[in-house]
Amino acid sequence: MVISGTIDSLIDFFSFAAWIFYGSSMLALIVMRFTKKNAPRPYKVPVIIPVVVLVISVYLIAAPIIDNPQIEYLYAGLFILAGLLLYIPFVHYRYVPSFMEKVTVFFQLLCEVAPTSMTFD
pLDDT at position 1 is 46
Other C-beta atoms lying within 10 Å of the C-beta of residue 103: 10
What is the distance between the alpha carbons of residues 85 and 71, in angstroms, rounded to a whole number?
A: 21
Q: Tens of pLDDT along 84-121?
A: 999 999 999 999 898 988 998 888 889 988 776 666 65
Q: How many whole angstroms separate alpha carbon 101 and alpha carbon 104?
A: 5
| Rounded Cα distance, 48 and 71, in Å | 34
The residues spanned by each domain of the chain are 7-87
Instruction: Give residue 86's pLDDT.
Output: 93
The pLDDT value recorded for residue 17 is 94
Neighbours of 121 (CB within 10 A): 2
Q: What is the model's pTM?
A: 0.74
pLDDT tens-place string over residues 31-53:
999 999 898 988 888 999 999 99
